[in-house]
Structure 1
Amino acid sequence: MKKENNPEENILPTDIENPFEYQHTRSFAQILHSLKSSLVLSTYQTGKIVMFSPKDDQAMIQLPRSFRKPLGVAVHDKHLAVACLDEIVLTHRSQNAAKTYPKKPDVYDSIYLPRSTHYTGAVDTHDISYGKGGLWAVITEFSCIAQIDPRYSFLPKWKPFFISEVTPGDKCHLNGMAMKNGLPKFVTALGKSDMPGGWRENKLTGGILMDVDSQEILLDGLAMPHSPRLIGEDIYYLQSAVGELWKYHLPSGSNEKICEVPGFARGMSFYQNFLFIGLSKIREESKDFGMMPIASKKPIPGVAIVNLRAKKVEGLLEYKGAVRELYDVQVLPGIQRPNILNADEEIHSRAIITPQRIFWQEKTKKKDSKKENLEEGKLADSDGKI
């Protein structure tokens, strides 16, 4: 695999028209192609979930789908969940449904189909992750970590010690969550306030990294931390306001800067020694973001690939059109051409899946008939799994 010392010098343009025009380095496509994997991005600012796949070792394929203000994305086995404006959309992946997808049969190797929606209300859900007991979520508006429970909007399970009560107000801007053994273990927040919106008073230097079990604040004075990820004995996290990737070593308590990335860093996923990091431009008109140090570095929106062995950015994708802000980035290992359907288009409801078979429902062409036919797709795998 060819590696470039300076990814910005090897940008390849694409033929994607606005508003989702992008360009990428040669190494970006090379890395994803060598990993035989794809990415899923959330860009709440444009209301899209985007699938990025390597066409080959030089070109990429982009598939955007509309979701209402998507933030956190959770991927586990064949499950993919998206935290949206006031709901969490739960999808499930099917290879065989992809092969018989009516619009483009034998094009996609996997398709994520909406299976259910959990209505949370407008609670500003940020990071989400599958773990013991199902889906865990950072409920930012209520300053807590919760489980998704069909009886409630959310079931609070943990709050920082400085939060007196689980009530609305976005008091500390709890945002990031790292899992260990299926349970939340570390979190990031932008402040330690117990007052509604209190984190804003010291937003650029008031961030914390915290241990869930012990309630110990491991690090403070951070520059808008996001996206903690536990890899071995290290917690990798982003200091968004300065555009930097850092590593906190648990046994020693040492804290090390790994590298800079060219944007407001938020959203991170690890796979085979690479970190895939989301980048955003700065809302210069915003009083919360316009004065950040990263603003002077001409931040870009897109995705940076960091090689952890080399401790540097080895691949870069940059949006050139309307996309300005990303929230999450997740890797889809071993999936080279994914598709995802939302609930806006009726075709998603035409997919009928049982443990044994897949059917795509199609209406008859007769104008005077209201009857519907079922066209049988390919059978499931021999073990009965779709």
Structure 2
Amino acid sequence: MSETPTNGGEGPLMLLSAGFSDWLASADTSISLTTYQAGRLFFIGRKADGGVRAHERLIEQCQGLWTDGQSLWTSGLYMLWRFENVLRKGETTPAGANRKFVPVEGRVVGRTDVHDIGLGEIDGARRPIFVNTLFNCLATVSDTASFRPLWRPKFISALAAEDRCHLNGLAMDGTQPAYVTAVSRSDVADGWRDRRHDGGVVIDVASSEIVASGFSMPHSPRLYDGKLWLLNSGTGEFGTLDTADGRFTPVCFCPGYARGLAFIGRHAVIGLSRPRHGGTFSGLAIDERLAEKDTVARCGLVIVDIDSGNVLEWLRFEHTIGELYDVAVLPGVRSAEAIGFKSNDIQREITVEQR
């Protein structure tokens, strides 16, 4: 595939496979993603002329992401933010976007290291359910406190701000949390770092039982097409997990630290990061796999055919951004953008609830 450089007039330089824009058009989707160290909420869509447009907003330590195309939740350093689309059907922004996300709610949850986010039903209301990594639990927002704990692994003996097992990934089954991933089953402060190579587990939330183990820093469990999909990040593998016997079946190798997973049709959108050498990501099996394939880790996206395991299209960030955390697809959305917190737009964008 040939490379097409673009920055869409906004954001860091990207390299794209030649068919990336055509894939967005054929899938009738755009993509949203979050970066971690670079602190950005990104939207990648199409321009009117068929080119690729990237739009970004700065949100410090932006990680978890959930959207249904109308509402959007994402996390920041110590916040949970909810955005809502204010465009009606057929409306577009001056730049041609047919989604305009405006921040309407901010929840101060403290530096709890929020990872994956889902939207569930709690006490008859739809509320965010998020992985509270610092406290090793699933949690939701509270009207009187930083958060309300909902569930924690049974090997975690106490609710404490110690990041013992590095709980990170959440697979929702409709409005209910179904499976979570953790880097280990450690019950001591920061104990997970000692088990990065093979201590990873997948846990059934309903039963609290570990259904599979032996992973290297697993992330992004997702239920799709009747299967549980998973990123075994420390080995660079994307695959499916049989929860009955705990068998993991790789579908393809990802040329980067894989984190962030979404599906549309028969395709998976997978986020890739460059490892932090000398730190959390160092010394993992993926280093050897990359060397065997005579390549280096990339930061960007790969579009994978889930039936064949072939990479159909790709996107790479060439500078500024080295890590992604989460990705989401927006079906039926050509292009999306969001209002920033420090621009005059946020003062002037006033909407009236329609009943």
Give me the TM-score of the superposition, normalised by structure 1: 0.85
Deviation at residue 115 of structure 1 after TM alignment: 0.3
Deviation at residue 12 of structure 1 after TM alignment: 2.0
Deviation at residue 308 of structure 1 after TM alignment: 1.0
- For residues 335 and 281 of structure 2, the distance between their equivalents in structure 1, rounded to whole angstroms, comes to 36
Summarize the Cα distance change of 1:355–1:80 in structure 2 as closer, same or farther, 3 Å threshold. Answer: same
Residues 14 and 316 of structure 2 are in contact (CA less than 8 Å); yes or no, is this contact kept in structure 1? yes
Deviation at residue 323 of structure 1 after TM alignment: 0.7
- Of 142, 145, 168, the residue aligned with 1:149 is 142
Give me the TM-score of the superposition, normalised by structure 2: 0.92
Deviation at residue 11 of structure 1 after TM alignment: 2.3
1:148-227 map, 5 Å = 148-227=141-220
Per-residue Cα deviation, 1:45-93 (whole angstroms, up to 9, x for no partner): 1111111002379631101111111000111351101111000011101
Residues 29 and 57 of structure 1 are in contact (CA less than 8 Å); yes or no, is this contact kept in structure 2? no
Residues 69 and 331 of structure 2 are in contact (CA less than 8 Å); yes or no, is this contact kept in structure 1? no
Letter in 2 for 1:119: V
Summarize the Cα distance change of 1:148–1:304 in structure 2 as closer, same or farther, 3 Å threshold. Answer: same
Within the alignment, does 1:119 sit opposite 2:108 as a pair?
yes
Bigger drift between 54-63 and 163-172 goes to 54-63
For 2:287, the equivalent position in structure 1 comes to: 295
Q: SS at 2:350's partner residue? A: strand
Aligned-pair identity in percent equals 31
Cα-Cα RMSD: 2.0
1:272-351 map, 5 Å = 272-286=265-279, 288-296=280-288, 297=290, 298-351=296-349
Is the radius of gyration larger for structure 1 or structure 2? 1
Deviation at residue 27 of structure 1 after TM alignment: 2.8
1:1-386 map, 5 Å = 9-14=1-6, 20-55=12-47, 59-76=51-68, 78-96=70-88, 99=91, 104=94, 107-133=96-122, 134-250=127-243, 253-286=246-279, 288-296=280-288, 297=290, 298-356=296-354
Per-residue Cα deviation, 1:218-262 (whole angstroms, up to 9, x for no partner): 111101100000114311000111111010134565421111111
Q: SS at 1:42's partner residue? A: strand
Residues 233 and 250 of structure 1 are in contact (CA less than 8 Å); yes or no, is this contact kept in structure 2? no
Summarize the Cα distance change of 1:137–1:338 in structure 2 as closer, same or farther, 3 Å threshold. Answer: same
Summarize the Cα distance change of 1:350–1:273 in structure 2 as closer, same or farther, 3 Å threshold. Answer: same
Q: SS at 1:31's partner residue? A: helix
- For residues 163 and 53 of structure 1, the distance between their equivalents in structure 2, rounded to whole angstroms, comes to 42
- For residues 148 and 307 of structure 1, the distance between their equivalents in structure 2, rounded to whole angstroms, comes to 36
Residues 211 and 245 of structure 2 are in contact (CA less than 8 Å); yes or no, is this contact kept in structure 1? no
Deviation at residue 310 of structure 1 after TM alignment: 2.0
Bigger drift between 89-98 and 270-279 goes to 89-98
For 1:365, the equivalent position in structure 2 comes to: none
- For residues 144 and 86 of structure 1, the distance between their equivalents in structure 2, rounded to whole angstroms, comes to 16
- For residues 188 and 318 of structure 2, the distance between their equivalents in structure 1, rounded to whole angstroms, comes to 39
Bigger drift between 289-298 and 188-197 goes to 289-298
For 1:373, the equivalent position in structure 2 comes to: none
Deviation at residue 168 of structure 1 after TM alignment: 0.4
Gaps of 5+ in 2: 291-295
Deviation at residue 351 of structure 1 after TM alignment: 1.2
Deviation at residue 315 of structure 1 after TM alignment: 1.0
Deviation at residue 107 of structure 1 after TM alignment: 2.3
Letter in 2 for 1:248: L
Deviation at residue 160 of structure 1 after TM alignment: 0.3
- For residues 26 and 86 of structure 2, the distance between their equivalents in structure 1, rounded to whole angstroms, comes to 23
- For residues 2 and 49 of structure 2, the distance between their equivalents in structure 1, rounded to whole angstroms, comes to 14
- For residues 239 and 265 of structure 1, the distance between their equivalents in structure 2, rounded to whole angstroms, comes to 8
- For residues 17 and 337 of structure 1, the distance between their equivalents in structure 2, rounded to whole angstroms, comes to 14
Bigger drift between 143-152 and 183-192 goes to 143-152
Gaps of 5+ in 1: 1-8, 357-383
Bigger drift between 324-333 and 347-356 goes to 347-356
Deviation at residue 190 of structure 1 after TM alignment: 0.2
Deviation at residue 347 of structure 1 after TM alignment: 1.2
- Alignment coverage as a number of residue pairs: 345
